[in-house]
Amino acid sequence: MAKHSHWDNIKHKKAANDKKKGKVISRMGKLITVAVQLGGPHLNENPRLRLAVEKARWSKMNMEAIERAIKKAAGLAGDGKTMSEVAYEGYAQGGVAVVVATLTDNRTRTAPEIKKLFERGGGSVGVPGCVSWQFKDKAVFLVDNPSEDAVMEALMAGNADAEDISPVEGESGTQISITAAPTQFDAVLKALAAAKLTIASSDITKFPDNLVEVAALDTAKAVQELIDSLDDHEDVQNVFHNADFSEEIAAQLTGSED
């Protein structure tokens, strides 16, 4: 049975999430708010805010809205609520590990709501740390159309270290995927920009150490429905999992969402 790579699963998740653009502004606003609260409103002094702004720009949030969100979070315009990062961990059907990253101003509201979504999806919430050890944080980039050699030369010129550079098929044709340690995010971003390479996306995400093959369509649908329901929650920023869908099942899942 043909296996999907981790990037294949990310692309499937992105294809589903692209239908929910109405939530992008709210999510990015929360992300910027936390970055400002933790490190201040100045981009040059706050790498976390730089990452949040990059993610917001990639999500098509315009600069006016980004600047407004930064000012609001800094208390320069409006009354921003204090947001907290909370991660919930558990299992979906088939033994699939799931980590849910949230930003919330009310933990006592968010926790039972996330628990209920897990239970409705045939899964269960676990204690902190029960599955997160199965994931590693990684900086990931997609670059449009250049050769692998061009990317490698750009990274070498910028003294940026990458763990993996490989071609992937994207919506606009072949792209170059770059994986690096989270500490290298700024260095890679600056190196690509200095070489004037077009960055299609950049993020810090979680990669599973091992994938769990989901061979049955019914189980795959249950897993995907749980992931989608979690992703729909207003406090959820990201849902990470280690499900491995075959190309055939992934095509059926995508088709069932149309």
| C-alpha–C-alpha distance, residues 52 and 27, integer Å | 10
> Which are the contacts of 97, defined by CB distance < 8 A and separation ≥ 6?
89, 91, 131, 134, 135, 208, 212, 241, 242
Q: Please tell me the predicted confidence (pLDDT) of residue 18.
A: 46
| C-alpha–C-alpha distance, residues 47 and 20, integer Å | 27
Q: Domain 135-208, what architecture?
A: 2-Layer Sandwich (3.30)
> Which are the contacts of 205, defined by CB distance < 8 A and separation ≥ 6?
10, 137, 138, 140, 238, 240
Q: Does position 12 have pLDDT exceeding 50, yes or no?
A: no
Q: Does position 201 have pLDDT exceeding 90, yes or no?
A: no
- Let me know: does 128 contact 89? Beta carbons within 8 Å: yes
**Tokens found for residue 89:** 């961990």
Handedness of CA 74, 45, 162, 195 (dihedral sign): positive
Q: Please tell me the predicted confidence (pLDDT) of residue 156.
A: 95
| C-alpha–C-alpha distance, residues 98 and 113, integer Å | 16
| C-alpha–C-alpha distance, residues 205 and 9, integer Å | 13
- Residue 8's pLDDT band, with cuts at 50, 70 and 90, is low
Q: How far is CA 237 from CA 35, 53, 227, 243, in A?
A: 14, 15, 12, 19
85-134+210-257 has the same fold as 6-73: no
What class, spelled out in words, does domain 85-134+210-257 have in CATH? alpha beta
* Domain residue extents for the chain: 6-73, 85-134+210-257, 135-208
Indicate the DSSP class of residue 3. P
Count of beta carbons in the 10 Å neighbourhood of residue 46: 18
| C-alpha–C-alpha distance, residues 5 and 91, integer Å | 21
Give the SS3 label for residue 102.
strand
Q: Please tell me the predicted confidence (pLDDT) of residue 213.
A: 94
Give the SS3 label for residue 74.
coil
Between strands 243-245 and 212-214, the pairing is parallel
| C-alpha–C-alpha distance, residues 14 and 170, integer Å | 11
**Tokens found for residue 156:** 């070498």
Q: CATH number for the 6-73 domain, one of 1.10.10.200, 3.40.50.300, 2.60.40.1890, 1.10.10.10? A: 1.10.10.200
Tens-digit pLDDT profile for residues 214-249: 999 999 999 999 999 999 998 998 999 999 998 888
Q: Does position 173 have pLDDT exceeding 80, yes or no?
A: no
Give one word for 2, left, alpha or beta, with left for phi > 0 and alpha for psi -120 to 50: beta
pTM exceeding the 0.95 threshold for the entire prediction: no
